[in-house]
Structure 1
């Protein structure tokens, strides 16, 4: 997208949203035809796909790599970080006894993917704002290390990533290749979690935090103002979730089960199906007000097994869980 001032950043983000809304009004086949996509994706094998209907894939507005993924990020000691407010969310990566690393959502909001290596493990830390989905994946597939970029495409309002090595397309919410040579391949989800900067800093005073990337973006702002209180998801034509659950209500997904965040926040701890889920106040919603730090408190979630080990999970919007796990189990506690 090129460098621009903070004011221009907000204007460009708003322009992207307006552009996507215009595209939504055009015939669906305009963006649902591989013959059109091949001009931009000449090395993607569209003859291989797990997508039942090409019309499920839409343009999110910006083209390939206009949202630039971060490669080999720089880190600074927690004690040197002065930009991040206490309530702001970060994705915490603690692997194999390595020094913990925090990836602030204020940066992921504008880059969506960070390709990094932690203790010899190549990882992709990802965040899809339209699904509130923050997932970390192991980038190793069949002896090959992949690196990921942002395709500019959406399916069920969820980011479609691509790998630079085969140009295959990957569904971020499920970590699976859905178009191209690697169709059907599954990435391993790494147990990481989202928490407030204050929680991370207090627990890990000697740890690391990702430094501000060398791009001129409106870091710390939310270009999707009031999104998580909207009645309908953006660029989504699928079914709404059952049980009267609001489409943009948050749920804690573990495998094919989903616990409504409201239920967990009320109980603060739930022990079910061999898992212990806990909720703690203090984390701002990144998708509420224009300033991430001022977002309403949605709390932080941890998921452990009965042995106290971290469990891979995601805190995503209910509509996205229903879209990708239509037969999933809703843990309503009734």
Structure 2
């Protein structure tokens, strides 16, 4: 019910908000709308909340993994493991409500991001052109994907591709930091001395999923683009490495695939964050780990098929045929 109300509310706002930067200037007076690589302003719509209506987090607190007792074992977390640093887990139960966490791991300033509507979980290096950027949520969507902004230049960024799309930073690409989604049990079993992000000091029903049943929907939320080819369901999960996408179902059946200079492994045990009303009770969608031939982790994303097709229309579908 919550998701239906959210959908109606967002559609009303989307219809009211004109696809014209002149409409947005009162909220974004420091954004240079004369610079953009978006072909048409109609591609950017309101997702419902306004600027910072979804509050990004900065400088989160952490607990030792052994101290965390409130997260269900199958709940998904985003894992960041940087050489020489203690591994960190960022629970999706928090990112569902905040979407961006600005953090520093060792000497690397990172932005850990999650777009529920695309199931896209990416970690970026926040160092750009000699500056360390701090990211927030615009409240805008493009192809149902979160549009971020940086507080320093007020430029807008497309989360799924990590690229500036409006303002001073148009065309600038963020550097990806290898990270992946796995279950809380998988993280702490591998990293008993690891760290986990502590519950933020916000009033949110953490652990609840406001998008209940979303990844079983027939159509993505607020998406008007083409469906993916090859008869692939728009909300089927795919593993994206660069401009290539492997269907999750193919990986689940194979268990391991070695092709395209990467090794992709599938393991059961991770709950979908977008299925049941309680995240930890979501159906098992499995965990993906992508590595190169030397066993080093490779930056990748597990996203919905429609989003891959929207942002990489000429991308390669690794169907194994």
For the 8 Å contact 1:117–1:123, the answer to whether it is kept is yes
Find out whether 1:321 has 2:311 as its counterpart. Answer: no
1:94-133 equivalent positions in 2, closer than 5 A: 94-133=81-120
Which consecutive unaligned segments of at least 5 residues does structure 1 have? 1-9
Query: Following the alignment from structure 2 to structure 1, what is the Cα–Cα distance between the partners of residues 183 and 198?
Result: 17
For residues 137 and 110 of structure 2, what CA distance do their matches in structure 1 show? 15
Scaled by the length of structure 1, the TM-score of the pair is 0.94
Distance 1:138 1:67 in 2: 21
Could you tell me which of 1, 24, 40 is aligned with 2:27? 40
**RMSD, aligned CA:** 1.1
Shift of 1:97: 1.6
Query: Deviations along 1:54-92, whole A, 9 cap, x unmatched?
Result: 000000000000110000000000011011000000000
**Aligned-partner SS, 1:277:** strand
Structure 2 residue 166 is the aligned partner of structure 1 residue 179 = yes
**Count of aligned positions:** 321
C-alpha deviation, 1:15, in angstroms: 4.3
Q: Which residue of 1 aligns with 2:72?
A: 85
Shift of 1:142: 1.1
Task: Say which SS state the counterpart of residue 118 (structure 2) adopts.
Answer: coil
Match of 1:63 in 2: 50
Aligned to 1:3: none
The answer to whether the Cα contact below 8 Å between 1:232 and 1:248 also exists between their aligned partners in 2 is: yes
Contact 1:96-1:119 within 8 A present in 2 as well: no
Tell me, yes or no, if structure 1 residue 20 matches structure 2 residue 10. Answer: yes
Q: Does 1:282 align with 2:272?
A: no
Residue 96 of structure 1: CA displacement?
1.8
Structure 2: gaps spanning 5 or more residues:
none
- Give per-residue Cα distances to partners, 1:27-79, cap 9 Å, x unaligned: 7xx43110000010000000000100000000000000011000000000001
Q: Tell me the distance in 2 between the aligned counterparts of 1:235 and 1:208.
A: 36
> Would you say 1:54 and 2:41 are equivalent positions?
yes
SS at match of 1:114: strand
The answer as to 2:139 corresponding to 1:139 is no
Q: Which whole-Å CA distance do the structure 1 matches of 2:4 and 2:184 have between them?
A: 27
Q: How far did residue 14 of structure 1 move?
A: 5.7
Q: Does the 8 Å contact 1:88/1:292 carry over to 2? A: yes
Distance between the aligned counterparts of 2:236 and 2:308, measured in 1? Answer: 11
What stretches of structure 1 move > 3 A for 4+ residues in a row? 13-16
Select 1:156's aligned residue among 143, 151, 165: 143
Counterpart Cα distance in 2 of 1:83 and 1:319: 34
Measure, in 1, the Cα distance between the counterparts of 2:156 and 2:55.
16
> In the alignment, does 2:253 pair up with 1:263?
no
Q: After TM superposition, list the pairs within 5 Å mapping 1:206-221 onto structure 2.
A: 206-221=193-208
